[in-house]
Structure 1
């Protein structure tokens, strides 16, 4: 597994690059994805334009540290193709739910296949790249470094893949929100953050009341008031754990390889068990 990509879509993005690139060249390219090498990084409308710090290399006639300009872009799908794809995505509640929670469904390619295209890159034809370094091979280590850096950003923002394919994320969200489920999830995703309040306990503590001076045995066992004949049903949350799921499996602050959502689900499960034991 590449340390530069944690999600399955980030991994496949790198896998496409590795399929048609020399492994030794890619190994050198990984070291060019760091802040020490990248002097400038601009990502607009699905195109990355970066300035990379190169090496002195007398063999190529380079006698002082150079700065190379690198651009990486994926080929765009047409407007007509996107209209068909969005229509098919809107018909699947599972796709809408995953996309609006910053995740890409594992079977999303089936939708693109029905339209006769593919979403994630398959080979070098899906990339438009350039670099003004003297290395004639494509991709060079500078382009590879940008691609590795880009894979890390795809982990945090999967909608960037749609943008790189020619569809603005805002338009995708607007189209998905037209469906009933999409509207619910979209409203929850874009809602303001909920203010948190400090509490002294993880569960509702009983409220103490003063006992009457005289207690009859009958009242003690049967109570003074009759029990309600029916209880109002509890209302489940419309979108459980939305605050946690908003950031997706790998939010910007999460640097580990495992999913942040999975970790939080395990944490809450263990906390619930511990709380129940203390009751």
Structure 2
């Protein structure tokens, strides 16, 4: 499995690329997946169109830093195939539960195999790629760089896989909402952002208390009520670091390859 993707579906995406590309070309391609190289990135209708900074190479007659246009997409499924797939997905509670957690179920391919297709790429026939650089090999290092960058985005948003296969995530959720189980997923994804509530202050304001009419010397130093003779020990949290754990092994802010 590739160490340049964190999730199993991201690793499958990269594995298909590595299957038909030599390791040296891939090693150079990884350096083209950074912000320093990618000048423009657009993902629309299941197709990535990017502009990458190239290198000066007098051997190919390139004496000024070039900009190369790269496009990457996957083969799309037909509307009839998607209708059958969505109908099965919306009836499986285990699939809906995993998609609610922003994860791709490990056995999701069983749904697609019933329609005669596969969801995740297997080899080069699942890709349609192009680059206007002078390198005659396909995929070149620029295409590899875009694929590595795309694998990172798939780690964070697996619903992009549906878009790469020709179905926009919004349309997927809309069609899933036709079933009771699918409606749960659709509502959860659509209402993920709560409305902001206005407050007068970010801090807890002190509450003024009226002083008693008379204060004795003993009451001033010892208080109106005696302090407890013992303090009950605090109970540890049932789930330690719960907020961090809810983010999963690789939350959005965590860019390292290890959990």
Larger deviation: 177-186 or 112-121?
177-186
Match of residue 167 from structure 1:
167
Aligned to 2:81: 81
Paired position in structure 2 for 1:153: 153
Alignment CA distance shift 1:195-1:3 (3 Å): farther
Task: Please say if residues 91 and 182 of structure 2, whose CA atoms lie closer than 8 Å, have aligned partners that are also in contact.
Answer: no
Offset of 1:105 from its aligned partner? 0.3
Kindly tell me the number of residue pairs found equivalent between the two proteins. 220
Task: Please state if 1:129 is matched with 2:129.
Answer: yes
- What is the aligned partner in structure 2 of residue 221 from structure 1? none
Task: State the 1:174 CA deviation.
Answer: 1.7
Which aligned pairs between 1:44-83 and structure 2 lie closer than 5 A? 44-83=44-83
- Structure 1 gaps of 5+ residues are 201-210, 212-240, 260-279
Residues 113-148 of structure 1 show CA distances to partners (whole Å, capped at 9, x for unaligned) of: 111001111111111111010000000000000000
Change (3 A) 1:182 1:170: same
1:28 is aligned to 2:28: yes
Alignment partner, residue 14 of structure 1? 14
Displacement of 1:162 after TM fit? 0.4
Instruction: Name the SS of the counterpart of 1:143 in structure 2.
Output: helix
CA gap of 1:101–1:243, structure 2 versus 1, over 3 A, is: farther
CA contact under 8 A between 1:154 and 1:160: conserved in structure 2? Answer: yes
Q: 1:176 corresponds to which residue?
A: 176
- Taking the aligned partners of 2:98 and 2:195, their CA distance within structure 1 comes to 22
In the alignment, the residues of structure 2 paired with residue 28 and residue 122 of structure 1 have an alpha-carbon distance, to the nearest angstrom, of: 22
8 Å CA contact 2:40, 2:52 repeated in 1: yes
Secondary structure of the equivalent of 1:52?
strand
* CA distance in 2: counterparts of 1:185 and 1:242, whole angstroms: 22
Structure with greater helix share of residues? 1
The DSSP-based 3-state class of the residue aligned with 1:121 is coil
1:243 to partner: Cα distance? 11
Contact 2:91 2:181 in 1 (8 A): no
Establish whether residue 100 from structure 1 lines up as the match of residue 100 from structure 2: yes
Contact 1:30–1:145 at 8 Å: present in 2 too? Answer: yes
Is 1:193 matched with 2:194? yes
2:196 & 2:133 partners in 1: Cα distance?
51
Does the CA-based 8 Å contact 1:70-1:143 persist in structure 2?
yes
Q: Partners of 2:179 and 2:171 in 1: how far apart?
A: 14
Kindly tell me: are residues 195 and 132 of structure 1, through their superposed partners in 2, closer, same or farther at Cα, counting changes over 3 Å?
A: closer
RMSD value, Cα:
2.9
CA–CA separation in structure 2 for the residues paired with 1:111 and 1:82: 11
